[in-house]
Amino acid sequence: ETGVTQTPRHLVMGMTNKKSLKCEQHLGHNAMYWYKQSAKKPLELMFVYNFKEQTENNSVPSRFSPECPNSSHLFLHLHTLQPEDSALYLCASSQEGAGGGQETQYFGPGTRLLVL
């Protein structure tokens, strides 16, 4: 139990569907992240929310839309995805500004997404 939960764990969707991924952290952290993990590629940072403010958007296509209503919850809204978007989507959280290694990221179990 890492203190970060994600739902759903598995998702199959068509290219015209709209779905949302949900992440919740129970660690009292102030930063949350969305990563994409594809086979044989490094974890790709998609979005960062620090104190609920989006601080990073690594040129992610607009078909991915993040939402962070509070410091404990993070959503990733998906619409009109492409087959190449099939991947494991990982959420993580950390306590920024703590120093001394306390900025360690803790990951959720991920959502395995398949786009048909």
Partner 1 sequence: GQNIDQPTEMTATEGAIVQINCTYQTSGFNGLFWYQQHAGEAPTFLSYNVLDGLEEKGRFSSFLSRSKGYSYLLLKELQMKDSASYLCAVRGTYKYIFGTGTRLKVLA
Minimum separation from the CB atom of position 107 to partner 1 (A)? 4
Residue 34 touching partner 1 (CB under 8 A): no
Instruction: Please give the Cα distance from 34 to 62 (Å, whole number).
Output: 14
Structure tokens at 46: 């998609």
> Least distance to partner 1 from the beta carbon of 42, Å?
5
Tokens matching residue 56:
């990073």
- Taking CB under 8 A as the rule, does residue 53 contact partner 1? no
Cβ at position 4, least distance to partner 1 in Å: 8
Among 114, 115, 113, 86, smallest CA distance to 21 is for 113
4 touching partner 1, by CB under 8 A = yes
Query: Which listed residue (16, 41, 62, 70) binds partner 1 by CB under 8 A?
Result: 41
Report how far residue 13's alpha carbon sits from residue 17's, in angstroms, rounded to the nearest whole number.
6
